[in-house]
Structure 1
C-alpha cells in the first residue's frame, strides 16, 4: 500500500468527526483566511474545541496557517498577529482498490503533446513516456538490499499494483487505471507495460523482463525472471 494512499485515508478520516468537518467546510468556503474566533462562532463551537480541531486539520494537511494582524496596524502596540486558517492546496481522494488516474492523465497528456510535435504515433509515444515515468518512480523509491524481483515488487506496491510473487514470476493483482483499461485496452496495457519496464530499468534489474500476459482478475503485465 502506497504512502500517498495511507496519507489520503488519514486525511479523509479526519473529516469523519462532525465538528472538524464543519470547521473545514466553513474555512474552505471563505474567500479570506479565518481566525479561530470566527470559525468557532460560525460553527457554534467553544473556542477551545475549535482550536483543537482546526490544528488537527492543519496536521492532516487539509488546512494551512498564516499569521496576520487583523487590525492592519504594525509596530509597537499593534498586538500579536492572529493565527488564520485557509484551505490547503492539497487534493485528497481515496479509492479502493487504489487507482491513479492522475498518473494516467499526466502520461497521456504528455504523450499527446510529444506526438503532436513529432508527428508520430500516440500509442508509441505513450509507451516511451510511461517508461520514462517508471524510471522516475524507481529513482524516487528508497528500496534496496533485496533481489531484483523483491525490489521491483516494492516499487510497484508503492504505486498501487498489489504485486505478488510466485516463483520467478511477479503478478500484479490490481490495475491502477482499471476504468480506463476497460474501454481502452491496448492503450492502457501499453502504458502499464511501459511503466513497469521503466521501473525495472530504473532499478537496474537486468535479470527481469516485463511482458504482456493478460489474465482474468489481474493487471495485463507480469514481470518474469529471465531464468524462467
Structure 2
C-alpha cells in the first residue's frame, strides 16, 4: 500500500469513530435496498439533518455510495424531486499498524494450490516459484528495491554494511504459525523482486531474528 492509499484508509477508519456515524453505516449495510435519509433517521432515532450530515461524510470517506430514485413510481413534470439514497460501497477498507499484507499471502497460497493441483508438482516448491514470479512483477514495476520494500511494508533500514534490515514482516501472524512455509515464500518473493528491479548490489538471505523479518538483504559478494 502506497502512502496515499494508506492515508485514505486511515482517514476512512477514523471517520467511523463517531458512534452515530458508525451506527448509520451498520444500519445501511444491513439493508437489502438503498436507504433514504428519512428512513435512516427514523430507524436510529436521530434528527434528519444529523443523519444527512453523517451519511454524506460516510460517502466522502468511501464507505457508502449514493443514487437518486423516485420511490413513488411517478415520472415527468410534477413527479417531485428524486430521493437521495445510500447503500454500502462494494469495496473494502483495511489498515493495520504496523502494516500487514495477509492478502498477498492468501493470493500466493491460492495460486500455489491451484497450480499444484493442475500439474501434480509438490506444493512447497510451487509456492516458492509462484512467489518469485510475483516478486519479479513487483520489481519490474518499481524503480528500486527500496521502493518495493517500502510499498510492501517491510520498513527497511540500513544495516551499516551496505545491506538492509527489514524491521517489519508483512506476514507476521501467519509466519509465526507456519514459519518454514511463509519465510520460504517471503524469501522467494523478495528474490524475484531483486531480479525484476535488476538489483545486483544486494542478495536476499534467510536470517531470522527477534523483532525483524526473517529475511534481510546483504551486500552481494563478488560474482
Verify same fold: TM over 0.5: yes
Counterpart among 194, 198, 201 of residue 204 in structure 1: 198
Instruction: Quote the residue 2:208 is aligned against.
Output: 214
Q: How does 1:117-128 map to 2 (within 5 A)?
A: 117-128=118-129
Q: Contact between 2:163 and 2:202, CA under 8 Å: does it hold in 1?
A: no
Count of aligned positions: 220
RMSD between superposed Cα atoms in Å: 2.0
Structure 1: state its 5+ residue gaps: 145-150
Structure 1 partner of 2:78:
77
- SS of residue in 2 equivalent to 1:77: coil
- The answer to whether the Cα contact below 8 Å between 1:153 and 1:164 also exists between their aligned partners in 2 is no
Match of residue 42 from structure 1: 43
Q: Which residue in the other structure is 1:148 paired with? A: none
Query: How far off its partner does 1:130 sit?
Result: 1.2
Q: Deviations over 1:105-164 (max 9, x none)?
A: 1110110110111111211111111122223333555xx4xxxxxx32222122121111
Q: Secondary structure at the match of 1:92?
A: coil
Q: 1:169 aligns with which of 129, 143, 163?
A: 163
1:57–1:135 distance in 2 versus 1, CA, 3 Å: farther
Is 1:94 matched with 2:88? no
Q: Distance in 2 between matches of 1:205 and 1:116?
A: 33
Aligned residue for 1:222, secondary structure, equals strand
Runs of 5+ in structure 2 lacking a partner? none
- Aligned partners of 1:139 and 1:52: how far apart in 2? 45
**Cα pair 2:135 2:196 within 8 Å, conserved:** yes
Question: What's the TM-score once normalised by structure 1's chain length?
Answer: 0.87
Match of 2:137 in 1: 136
TM-score relative to the length of structure 2:
0.89
